[in-house]
Structure 1
Amino acid sequence: MPRVKAITTGSVPSFVDVILNFAESDTTSTLAHQDTWLAQLRVKPGGRLVMYGDDTWLKLFPGMFYRHDGTTSFFVSVRTSNLPFLLDQSSDPEQRILLKSTTMSPGIYLRKWKEMDSIVKQIYSSMEKEAHLSSALLILCGDHGMNDGGNHGGASAGETSPALTFISPKFQDMGLVKAPLKPSPGEFDFYDIIDQSDIAPTLGGLLGFPVPLNNLGVFIPQFLPLWKKGEERLQLLQENAQQIIKIVKQTYPGYKFDSTTAQLTHCDGSPNSEIAELECKWQRAQRMISQPAEDTTLSLDIEQPLIDFLRTAQTMMSSTASNYNLSRLYQGIAFSGIAFLLSLYSCMQKGRNGTAAMGYMFLVLLGYGALMFASSYVEEEQHFWYWMASGWIFYIYWKSSNNHKVKSGYVGAFVLATLTRIMRRWNQTGQKFAGEPDIANTFFRDHPNVMWLLILFTYTDLYQRLLPNTSIADPTNKLLSLLYLPLTSFSFIFKVVFTDADAPELIRNIPFLPFLIRGVRGLSLVFQARVVLIGVLVCSLYAIYLRATRNSNRTGARRDIRGTFHTLLSLFLITQSRATNIPLFALFRIQQQVLSSMSLSTTEITVTSLLFQYASFFALGGSNAISSVDLSNAYNGVSGYNVGVVGILTFISNWAGPIWWVSATHHLLSITRSARQNQPNKHIQLLTLFVATSLLAVMIACTALRTHLFIWTVFSPKFLYSMAWTLAQHIIINILFGEHLLRWLYN
């Protein structure tokens, strides 16, 4: 939405638009009440808009199109619509067509490219043959690009460099070079670079309608030769400048920017501020305009000062979003500082310090806090957690060796270290190694049979762990155990069908999978997801019911309930994860088994939980970039848009690893005597200390580096992730779900 807003309104989207982009409902994500070139074109006499493609445009501009054919943004199935036929029906000279094409799978790129090439050829051929289309304009553009790693919508060079092409028979008389052969001075760019906001005023000038009210774009100068008369070109630039100067005056009321040609005092030397420099450029342009411009050469000399003013005003007004309310920032830092001091005081009470584990905890705090002040380290945060987890495994081995358990400590540490190394290689996240070979996106695509064997093993392990937990002598519980086989089986089938729709290349050449897909062909993905989610919910609620109403003080009963709920939670989290990440949960399970065989204190379990919560987040493909938020499982079981449900499912699917480790942590704490008797609150106190420290460090870094080049692309997204870790993961999952529900259920 932010990029579409820039293209259609000519304004610069704010960072809030990035957040609202995830709340893409019919009411929160709309530009219907803003002045756009679509609205200007629609009210023009005889103007009608027709749209084919992504239904995001229908949500952004409800009621704007005379005729439309929208395709949902998610789960785009094979369409048999004959688009060339639709174009043949759109020969009405009073209609304007907006065509938006979206491809979701690399497997159809080549076919889609050829199809779009033929459509462009057909449109341009009509423009050349039909007399009423001789002045038509065809624009091919993207709202975002893509880098070598396949990421799109982020801040890398490839993602912020979408193509833009203007096509019209009228351009043949301009004498432009068909293919640039020389790079731009000082850069290795062969094509001209413009801001996306420049599209709005350019369309207004070319098609003859007013520029949107809040436009900050500049008319593309390369199109000025279309107007043969110099006064027409000057009028076009003056209208653009007058529209922007209104916004400048509203933003800086202390500067008049009048049309007087008298020399301003501060323009004699070097202006002392950007706004003063802009005022001087405006006055210089006004002086040039006041001179007679009868010939074309003189008008060209006048055009340049106007273009210079427009570019300067655009740059300055685009940066006004960086005018921060420092008092609010300092207040937020103060509140975070108080939370940090209170949590530190709580953790430093008698009996809570002096251990090697606490020393390692403070090492993590210091290292992570310092990490937040470097943009490159924020982008590559996953390496910090992988290295700290590896160091912690060495500590566990060192502790076991000192306790004369060298053999068991060595074996356990070796297994943990090996599994952690596999985690590091599972998904390549961050920027430095984006697109490099990994297990999930490279190995599994070349060996899908291995992936499905691991997935099948994971589901089989889940089912086998559910069966021993039905040992309570209760007919109802025995009956409930009969649901576990169809529940796990149907969950597996759902992931197969889901993957066939999302990434069909992972299904090919697997003998038994097409048979499963045909078996549920009549059932929609929404229905299948609801069956799995409702089944998990019913079984989980029954486990809670047993804990609340039955005598569960016996060790065997507690173990049964604990194991059942943890396994059902694992099944739910697997359902909310990509197929390529499902085997990671079997890896997590082995790590939990190894840790449960070790004699760990409450502090050591807490440090382990912290490290593996964050490490699992990055291992599953998470990062500190907004573009890495995975929405593929956010609509499981949802037939219509519901911002609350979709928001919850989005969080669960992206934080599935950390949520799993919260449950595993309380599983470990439930078998630790000190956690149940001596220091029951120590676990959550230590986690709160880290959360308060990390949030304080991020807030200080964002405030201190507010003028940094990457404040909006690196530090601000990191702050949003910190808020998600604090509010959702810590307060809701760690405290409410973990410390209250799981602690009561498991103990």
Structure 2
Amino acid sequence: MSFRRNGSLSSTLLLIVANVLIPVAIVIFATGFFPYKPLLPGLAEYEPLDGYGEPPEAPFDKLVFMVVDALRSDFVYTTNSGFKSTQSLIRHGAAIPFTAHATSPTVTMPRLKAITTGSVPSFLDVVLNIDEGDESSSLASQDTWLAQMKAKGTGKLVMYGDDTWLKLFPGTLDRADGTTSFFVADFTEVDHNVTRNIPGELRNDDWNTMILHYLGLDHIGHKGGPRSPHMVPKQREMDGIVSQIYKAIETQDHLKSTLFVLCGDHGMNDAGNHGASSPGETSPALLFISPKLKGLQTNQDSPLPDAEDFQFYSTVEQSDLAPTLAALLGFPIPKNNLGVLIPEFLSIWPKKADQAYLLHQNARQIQTVISAASGTKTFDGALTAESCASPSSDYEELACAWQGPSKIVMSARVGDDMNSQWALPVVTWLRKAQELMSGMASNYDMSRLILGQVTALLAVIFSLSTATKTVSPTRSLTPLLVISIAYSIMMFASSYVEEEQHFWYLATSTWFGYLTLRGFKRANTTFPAHLLLTAFPVLVSLRLLRAWNQTGQKHAGTPDIVKLFIEPHPHFLWLLVGLTYFWTHRQLVHSFHGRIPVPINYPVMTGLVLAAFTFKAAFTLEDAPELVVEFVKSSLLDFTRGASLIARARAVFVGLGLVAMAAMGFILWEMTGTGGNRKRSRPKRVPAEAITTLQHLYTILALTQSRTANIPLFLIFNLLYWFLSNEIDVLDGTGLSTVELAISSLLLQYASFFAMGGSNAISSVDLSNAYNGVSGFNVVLVGVLTYVGNWAGPVWWAFGTVVLLGKIWRRDQRQKRLGSGNDGKRGSDEKEEKAEAKQRLEEGPVSLFKTYVAVTTLFTAFSVAAVMAACTILRTHLFVWTVFSPKYLYCVAWSLGQHLVVNVGLSGLLYWLGSL
């Protein structure tokens, strides 16, 4: 007995160590994989170039820089656009249009860094972009075109809009009014706060830079996608702002030399999200607008027909903005710039020598960056013909390639006759240098990468040791090890990472197919009856999960159940939604049956469910009114007319909290007795029933935080839950074991995440429900609501697993009383299995939860180690920042959020309460 207790204690300690090592490994690896890149300090100054005089005179002295968040190129350039006045400016030559290529990650902070510095920001900025309180990402000490405009001393810098600018440029802006960028429920006020400042600033003449950053269009995309009924009206609103500013430039003398830039920081995909590298996300619009530009005679057709790749007019890099603004406004190119002066603007300067100066300055600046990155002075001396015949590095090859363009700029600067295409070789060299430097691997800290992986491998070893000590017979771990190893191998292929959902759909279907087949062998029914009553509903449910939402990259946006059957048939949608809420209501009422009077039970639960249902209906009416049928509007929403969405959501959350407190109160009441009767025996099922009530309450929270089209998935979850529950109820020794339940839970957590629209792309993060009941930004509340909104399915299965673990324990107790307590083990090693079952009964119900945690920890440790190894080995891969880095961030969310917080922390607390 002592030996068994010591073995149990040692396995528990190993399990704790493994779960401590997982976050330690994640932190160590992250600090080596996402370091800040070294930057050249200080502000750039004009350096004398041999053979040139003073820098050419700048055609503009003021800048209005208007960012419309998520302004995808087709929103401005196509027939369906609301930017009609802007299109008129394009046709008359007053606006020169481009499609700007935004590299991944396509979120605001790193894109603004690229736009203002001309450099390639760190991928870590995608994380810093989420925390509005973070100040470590500041550009206050870096060279940017804002710093250069401030250094000119010709006027103040003013900014209105997204407060990301305030984080990036603390102390730089002289007047500013920031608005939070994450309150995605707001389409109007967030933009009105910007627009109300424009008339006054257009009359002022004390500024040289005015930045406007509008957020409403991006919020509409997150809520309703690019085809939302709110989208074109918002485009018309933005077009009106463009027209207002252009008219002021055209008519007011102090603005006559003002350059107006209209651009998007990124685009959006078909779901309205962004962060990844799909064509829609990486193709924002970019326009340079001024009456002066009419002299270039660049009149172009507008609007244009739709294009699947979202490429309209010429395509430039977002980083090209920095050197182009430097030339047009007359300041040195920022030191860390990798952008290229957009050649379409060279003709503004009629002298070839001026054009040559600007290109040579751009080349010299990039050569300085290359020399700093390579640690050599490649461009300082002439290279021999022998070294150029076989260059030893990409840097040397680039230096050799510069010899031809350098002769061209030398000829241009002395006024030699040149053809109209003389600048093309110089621009080509600049693009090649840009491509080389932009594609360079980050300055990884290899020692930290290796240490992180060693720590993760130790977690694998400890978790495997725990699993083998906890689970008997150890062969029951074979399916888990197969899943873990196959998943680990898959992490080394970019295509498999992008399409990870298929792995989980296949593994889940195979596993449940095995369980249903085993059930048939056990059952006393005929094969057709078993197929009809059990196997067919389960496998059809899994097929529906797979087809509900198409995710990943290859098939994203293709027809699925939501697009083919749900959205085109809103009556069918609301029938399923109503059934889901009705089923949840029924479960809630049943969980309180016999514990509170019926006259109280039914009204309270009905009121709570109706509050949740009417909130979702009102939310959908605001978000996607085309999905709300007239019956829902007239019968429910009219009844609660006048209530705001925030008030509705808060009513739901308060109701959930009160009922949850009541459920926990029943635990304490029943455990301690009533009316001072301390001798009353403690009912053993009361805590378990209260945990079941919490599971149903979480279902309402999950429905509240899920997209309306995904709500019917919870009916499918309930059917699969019913199947697992029935498998547990078997008392002949072949019922579902703890290990099998843990494997089932693991598979369903991942499968449900992808079925609800999740993927390994940052763009699939759903922010549409992040502000339910929240009136302003709060990093904790918004973070929790965002997590529940995106991991609603996995968390639901974690709740369900806790309840089913309690059911396994009660089954074992019944088997013990009946003399058949072997915890569902079958076949051989009967003596070992009975001894293990006896030990578990002696240890108490905590042994079951330890087995569950051991299973999930083993897979988590495997996945963390595999993802780290893939990121290290493939750190120079073309897709390291678009596929593997986002996968690492999702791995962090699964490991820290779902595994440690939910499966270990929250589930452990609930299981402990349920087993009291």
Report the AA paired with residue 158 of structure 1: G
Q: Are 2:799 and 1:663 equivalent residues in the alignment? A: yes
Query: % of aligned pairs identical?
Result: 43
Separation in 1 of the partners of 2:174 and 2:560?
A: 44
Aligned to 1:403: 522
SS of the residue aligned with 1:590? helix
Question: Could you tell me how far 1:214 is from its partner in structure 2?
Answer: 3.0
Distance 1:189 1:157, change over 3 A: closer
TM-score, normalised to structure 2, is 0.73
Q: Which has the higher contact order (CA 8 A, sep 6+)?
A: 2
Q: Are 2:263 and 1:141 equivalent residues in the alignment? A: yes
What are the equivalent positions in structure 2 for 1:71-86 lying under 5 Å apart? Answer: 73-78=183-188
Separation in 2 of the partners of 1:328 and 1:166?
A: 45
Distance 1:139 1:24, change over 3 A: same
Separation in 2 of the partners of 1:338 and 1:200?
A: 47
Distance 1:333 1:240, change over 3 A: same
What are the equivalent positions in structure 2 for 1:428-439 lying under 5 Å apart? Answer: 428-439=550-561
Contact 1:30 / 1:59 at 8 angstroms: preserved in 2? yes
Which of 543, 561, 567 is the matching residue for 2:690? Answer: 561
Separation in 2 of the partners of 1:493 and 1:180?
A: 44
Q: Are 2:863 and 1:731 equivalent residues in the alignment? A: no
Contact 1:293 / 1:299 at 8 angstroms: preserved in 2? no
Separation in 1 of the partners of 2:422 and 2:857?
A: 63
Question: Could you tell me how far 1:395 is from its partner in structure 2?
Answer: 0.5
Contact 2:356 / 2:413 at 8 angstroms: preserved in 1? no
Separation in 1 of the partners of 2:194 and 2:746?
A: 53
Which of 9, 12, 17 is the matching residue for 2:125? Answer: 17
Report the AA paired with residue 577 of structure 1: S
Which of 759, 767, 771 is the matching residue for 1:631? Answer: 767
Question: Could you tell me how far 1:360 is from its partner in structure 2?
Answer: 2.9
Contact 2:335 / 2:369 at 8 angstroms: preserved in 1? no
Report the AA paired with residue 661 of structure 2: L
Aligned to 1:651: 787
Q: Are 2:585 and 1:463 equivalent residues in the alignment? A: yes
Contact 2:162 / 2:180 at 8 angstroms: preserved in 1? yes
Contact 2:279 / 2:310 at 8 angstroms: preserved in 1? no
Report the AA paired with residue 593 of structure 1: W
What are the equivalent positions in structure 2 for 1:26-425 lying under 5 Å apart? Answer: 27=135, 31=139, 34-42=142-150, 44-48=152-156, 57=165, 64=173, 66=175, 73-78=183-188, 90=202, 96-101=209-214, 102-103=216-217, 104=220, 105=224, 106-117=228-239, 119-121=241-243, 123-124=245-246, 135-148=257-270, 150-176=272-298, 178-179=300-301, 191-255=313-377, 257-258=379-380, 262-264=382-384, 267-281=387-401, 293-297=413-417, 307-349=427-469, 352-353=472-473, 358-407=477-526, 409-410=530-531, 411-425=533-547
Contact 2:249 / 2:255 at 8 angstroms: preserved in 1? yes
Separation in 2 of the partners of 1:232 and 1:646?
A: 52
TM-score, normalised to structure 1, is 0.88
Contact 1:612 / 1:658 at 8 angstroms: preserved in 2? yes
SS of the residue aligned with 1:159? coil
Question: Could you tell me how far 1:242 is from its partner in structure 2?
Answer: 4.0
Distance 1:378 1:136, change over 3 A: same
Contact 2:352 / 2:415 at 8 angstroms: preserved in 1? yes
What runs of 5+ residues in structure 1 fail to find an aligned partner? 182-186
SS of the residue aligned with 2:774? coil
Contact 2:155 / 2:208 at 8 angstroms: preserved in 1? yes
Question: Mean alpha-carbon deviation: is it higher for 397-406 or for 606-615?
Answer: 397-406
Question: Could you tell me how far 1:209 is from its partner in structure 2?
Answer: 3.0
Question: Could you tell me how far 1:543 is from its partner in structure 2?
Answer: 2.7
Aligned to 1:451: 573
Contact 1:281 / 1:305 at 8 angstroms: preserved in 2? no
Report the AA paired with residue 232 of structure 1: D
SS of the residue aligned with 2:711? helix
Question: Mean alpha-carbon deviation: is it higher for 333-342 or for 134-143?
Answer: 134-143
Contact 1:25 / 1:642 at 8 angstroms: preserved in 2? no
Question: Could you tell me how far 1:65 is from its partner in structure 2?
Answer: 6.3
Report the AA paired with residue 361 of structure 1: L
Separation in 2 of the partners of 1:301 and 1:436?
A: 44
Distance 1:95 1:498, change over 3 A: farther
Distance 1:549 1:581, change over 3 A: same
Question: Mean alpha-carbon deviation: is it higher for 264-273 or for 594-603?
Answer: 264-273
Aligned to 1:493: 614
Aligned to 1:707: 876
Question: Could you tell me how far 1:336 is from its partner in structure 2?
Answer: 1.6
Cα deviation code 1:448-501 (max 9, x no counterpart): 2322232222222222222232345578x9968764332222222222232233
Question: Could you tell me how far 1:613 is from its partner in structure 2?
Answer: 0.7
Distance 1:616 1:707, change over 3 A: same
What are the equivalent positions in structure 2 for 1:571-586 lying under 5 Å apart? Answer: 571-586=700-715
Question: Mean alpha-carbon deviation: is it higher for 195-204 or for 535-544?
Answer: 535-544
Contact 1:530 / 1:637 at 8 angstroms: preserved in 2? yes
Separation in 2 of the partners of 1:77 and 1:718?
A: 31
Separation in 2 of the partners of 1:162 and 1:328?
A: 36
Distance 1:49 1:511, change over 3 A: farther
Question: Could you tell me how far 1:82 is from its partner in structure 2?
Answer: 12
Which of 505, 513, 517 is the matching residue for 2:626? Answer: 505
Question: Mean alpha-carbon deviation: is it higher for 736-745 or for 79-88?
Answer: 79-88
Which of 528, 541, 558 is the matching residue for 2:648? Answer: 528
Separation in 1 of the partners of 2:530 and 2:431?
A: 66
Question: Could you tell me how far 1:286 is from its partner in structure 2?
Answer: 5.9
Distance 1:74 1:151, change over 3 A: closer
Say how many residue pairs are matched.
738
Separation in 1 of the partners of 2:175 and 2:444?
A: 42
SS of the residue aligned with 1:194? strand
Contact 1:562 / 1:746 at 8 angstroms: preserved in 2? no
Question: Could you tell me how far 1:574 is from its partner in structure 2?
Answer: 2.0
Distance 1:607 1:437, change over 3 A: same
Question: Mean alpha-carbon deviation: is it higher for 270-279 or for 400-409?
Answer: 400-409
Question: Could you tell me how far 1:621 is from its partner in structure 2?
Answer: 1.1
Distance 1:252 1:705, change over 3 A: closer
Question: Mean alpha-carbon deviation: is it higher for 546-555 or for 224-233?
Answer: 546-555
Contact 2:273 / 2:766 at 8 angstroms: preserved in 1? no
SS of the residue aligned with 1:568? helix
SS of the residue aligned with 1:500? helix
Separation in 2 of the partners of 1:24 and 1:266?
A: 54
Question: Could you tell me how far 1:202 is from its partner in structure 2?
Answer: 0.6
Contact 2:157 / 2:174 at 8 angstroms: preserved in 1? yes
Separation in 2 of the partners of 1:668 and 1:512?
A: 36
What runs of 5+ residues in structure 2 fail to find an aligned partner? 1-108, 304-308, 672-680, 728-734, 813-822, 824-836
SS of the residue aligned with 2:288? strand
Report the AA paired with residue 494 of structure 2: S
Question: Could you tell me how far 1:654 is from its partner in structure 2?
Answer: 1.0
Question: Mean alpha-carbon deviation: is it higher for 267-276 or for 373-382?
Answer: 267-276
